[in-house]
């Protein structure tokens, strides 16, 4: 039987009605007050127990983490900060949690410790708030595209192509079920050639999305992507979720307009629909900020920052303009950049991106028209012959959140670019077909979902905004 959620009960008018509720114990104070939570909201419902009426053995099972079914009267609460509470008449213990061994206790745990408890950490306030915001953002993303004439397209997970050409792929193989998993020498017994060619887990659904945009007009993907890049940073995962819209008949300006409108719209959605969780996450951040020296404190609180981004125009600058700015700047009085920008054509490092966003423009920045040499083969060559219609969106505290481009739709130019990079035409014959038959200008971009969740929640490490993070040397769960 379904029972109301804590969220529903907390907004119910109490009329001394009898209610039944399931949840986990957050705290149990003085053998009298159970703070119960079922994950529906950051707020707990207080359940008041007349402990004389209960068996001691039962009370002993009520600890942080125990799962209970509580029956009682929903009444107005005298307590501060809560409208209602439950006067308990019956308690059923679904399952207890021995305080001697249950890792999640009502105290502050470090993020590192909680990563080792990835299967339990969603029971903390911080992680439950983050995961509710993550869920709301997913919904907002689908809603945005569905309301704007896009079709949801499912890109394959197993693919033969390296869309980004960076070679950072996980190979797909099968074990041979007829033989033992390893040979006598300890070698793994792979069964070769399941697909008849080498395949990998996708690094991006873009190339396939292009094929579908050239038939459905406007499509978007929203799914997992995989990168075997060995970067142990707070911004990289080996498995992350990406949103990749692809639009026929869009040029680079249309692409930038869409990306900006899209990001603002989904941030507005969480501002309107996740107020309690954002307020909690903001307070958490403020407490953390207080422990830092004044100079290192963030100048904007979380909600203010989200409002700022959703209401202000992103600054658009070309790569060439950005290089000029960087050449004429110092990150601060004493220091130079660790990687000084000496020549046009160098790739920007995250220190440069952060300088542009956080120090120079103090707002999100869209950098466009990058040197062709540092970008992927599929990007459209500009008239100057040396830049491509690429665009990256850089965010405060995050760095690159979006990478996109107008695609090369001219068959001859695309073939030349592939030849220059030694990409065999046979490998991408179907991709070239898109340029042979009914080609048209088209554009798209990829938004790293976890980087968006990082921004929206103010969390500091990408490992803490995805349920079970995969990073080098780490796939315990």
Residues of the shown chain interacting with ligand 4AD in the complex, contacts defined by CB under 6 A: 163-164, 204, 206, 227, 229, 236-237, 240, 242, 244, 400-405, 444-446, 448, 450-451
Nearer to ligand 4AD, 244 or 282 (CB): 244
C-beta neighbour count of 11 within 10 angstroms? 9
CA distance 99 to 247: 55
CA distances from 384 to 91, 380, 381 (A): 74, 11, 8
What is the closest distance, in whole angstroms, from the C-beta atom of residue 375 to Mg ion in the complex? 9
450 contacts which partner out of Mg ion, ligand 4AD, none, CB within 5 to 8 A by kind?
ligand 4AD
Nearer to Mg ion, 74 or 207 (CB): 207
What is the closest distance, in whole angstroms, from the C-beta atom of residue 451 to ligand 4AD in the complex? 4
Asked if residue 66 lies in contact with residue 24, where contact means CB atoms within 8 angstroms, the answer is yes
Calculate the CA 184 to chain-centre distance: 43
CA distances from 17 to 5, 9, 53, 361 (A): 15, 11, 21, 56
Instruction: Mark residue 183 as left, alpha or beta (left: phi above 0; alpha: psi -120 to 50; beta: remaining).
Output: beta
CA distance 156 to 207: 11
Nearer to Mg ion, 389 or 403 (CB): 403
What is the closest distance, in whole angstroms, from the C-beta atom of residue 444 to Mg ion in the complex? 13
In 3-state terms, what secondary structure has residue 28?
A: strand
Total residue length of the chain? 477
What is the closest distance, in whole angstroms, from the C-beta atom of residue 4 to ligand 4AD in the complex? 38
Nearer to ligand 4AD, 63 or 161 (CB): 161
Helices (H), 274-387: 275-290, 302-311, 319-327, 350-354
72 contacts which partner out of Mg ion, ligand 4AD, none, CB within 5 to 8 A by kind?
none
CA distance 294 to 61: 45
163 contacts which partner out of ligand 4AD, Mg ion, none, CB within 5 to 8 A by kind?
ligand 4AD
Nearer to ligand 4AD, 164 or 409 (CB): 164
What is the closest distance, in whole angstroms, from the C-beta atom of residue 461 to Mg ion in the complex? 20
Residues at the interface with Mg ion (CB under 5 A): 403
What is the closest distance, in whole angstroms, from the C-beta atom of residue 462 to ligand 4AD in the complex? 6
253 contacts which partner out of ligand 4AD, Mg ion, none, CB within 5 to 8 A by kind?
none
Asked if residue 28 lies in contact with residue 43, where contact means CB atoms within 8 angstroms, the answer is no
Nearer to Mg ion, 280 or 368 (CB): 368
C-beta neighbour count of 78 within 10 angstroms? 8
Nearer to ligand 4AD, 39 or 460 (CB): 460
CA distance 167 to 285: 38
Pairing of strands 84-95, 45-48: parallel
* Sheet order of strands, 239-248 included: 151-152, 218-226, 239-248, 442-448, 399-406, 387-395, 365-371, 315-318
227 contacts which partner out of Mg ion, ligand 4AD, none, CB within 5 to 8 A by kind?
ligand 4AD
What is the closest distance, in whole angstroms, from the C-beta atom of residue 134 to ligand 4AD in the complex? 14
Q: What is the 3-state secondary structure (H, E, C) of 411-457?
A: HHHHHHHHHHCCCCHHHHHHHHHHHHCCCCCEEEEEEEHHHHHHHHH
236 contacts which partner out of Mg ion, ligand 4AD, none, CB within 5 to 8 A by kind?
ligand 4AD
Nearer to Mg ion, 103 or 397 (CB): 397
What is the closest distance, in whole angstroms, from the C-beta atom of residue 400 to Mg ion in the complex? 6
Which residue do the tokens 């009960």 mark?
9
Nearer to Mg ion, 65 or 403 (CB): 403
Nearer to ligand 4AD, 34 or 237 (CB): 237
What is the closest distance, in whole angstroms, from the C-beta atom of residue 15 to Mg ion in the complex? 56
399 contacts which partner out of ligand 4AD, Mg ion, none, CB within 5 to 8 A by kind?
none
364 contacts which partner out of Mg ion, ligand 4AD, none, CB within 5 to 8 A by kind?
none
CB closest to Mg ion, residue no: 403
CA distance 107 to 127: 14
What is the closest distance, in whole angstroms, from the C-beta atom of residue 189 to ligand 4AD in the complex? 31
């Amino acid at each position: 039987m379904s029972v109301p959620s804590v969220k529903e009960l907390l907004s119910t008018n109490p009329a001394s009605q009898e209610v039944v509720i399931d949840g986990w114990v957050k705290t149990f104070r003085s053998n009298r007050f159970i703070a119960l939570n079922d994950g529906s909201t950051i707020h707990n419902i207080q359940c008041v127990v007349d402990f004389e009426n209960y068996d001691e053995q039962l009370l002993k099972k009520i600890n942080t983490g125990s799962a209970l079914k509580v029956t009682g009267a929903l009444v107005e609460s005298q307590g501060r900060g809560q409208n209602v509470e439950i006067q308990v008449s019956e308690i059923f213990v679904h399952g207890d949690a021995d305080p001697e061994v249950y890792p999640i206790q009502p105290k502050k745990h470090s993020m590192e410790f909680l990563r080792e408890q990835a299967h339990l950490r969603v029971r903390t306030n911080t992680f439950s708030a983050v995961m509710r915001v993550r869920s709301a953002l997913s919904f907002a993303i689908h809603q945005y595209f569905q309301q704007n004439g896009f079709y949801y397209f499912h890109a394959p997970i197993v693919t033969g192509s390296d869309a980004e050409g960076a070679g950072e792929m996980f190979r797909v193989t099968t074990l041979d079920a007829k033989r033992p998993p390893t040979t006598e020498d300890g070698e793994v017994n792979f069964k070769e050639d399941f697909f008849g060619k080498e395949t990998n887990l996708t690094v991006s659904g873009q190339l396939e999305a292009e094929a579908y945009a050239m038939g459905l007009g406007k499509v978007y993907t929203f799914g997992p992507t995989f990168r075997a890049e060995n970067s142990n940073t707070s911004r990289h995962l080996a498995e992350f979720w990406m949103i990749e819209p692809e639009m026929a008949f869009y040029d680079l300006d249309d692409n930038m307009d869409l990306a900006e409108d899209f990001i603002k719209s989904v941030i507005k959605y969480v501002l309107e629909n996740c107020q309690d969780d954002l307020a909690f996450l903001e307070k958490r951040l403020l407490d953390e900020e207080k422990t830092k020296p004044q100079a290192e404190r963030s100048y904007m609180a979380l909600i203010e920052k989200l409002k700022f981004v959703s209401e202000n125009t992103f600054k658009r600058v070309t790569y060439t303009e950005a290089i000029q700015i960087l050449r004429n700047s110092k990150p601060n009085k004493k220091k130079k950049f660790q990687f000084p920008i000496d020549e046009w054509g160098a790739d920007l490092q995250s220190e440069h991106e952060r300088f542009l966003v956080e120090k120079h423009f103090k707002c999100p920045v869209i950098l466009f028209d990058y040197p062709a040499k540092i970008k992927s083969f599929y990007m459209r060559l500009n008239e100057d012959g040396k830049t491509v219609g690429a665009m990256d969106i850089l965010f405060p505290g995050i760095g690159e959140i979006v990478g996109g481009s107008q695609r090369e739709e001219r068959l001859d130019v695309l073939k030349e670019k592939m030849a220059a990079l030694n990409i065999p035409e046979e490998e991408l014959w179907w991709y070239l077909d898109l340029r042979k038959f009914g080609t048209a200008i088209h554009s798209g971009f990829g938004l790293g979902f976890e980087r968006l969740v990082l921004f929206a929640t103010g969390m500091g490490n990408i490992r803490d905004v995805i349920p079970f993070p995969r990073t080098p040397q780490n796939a315990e769960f």
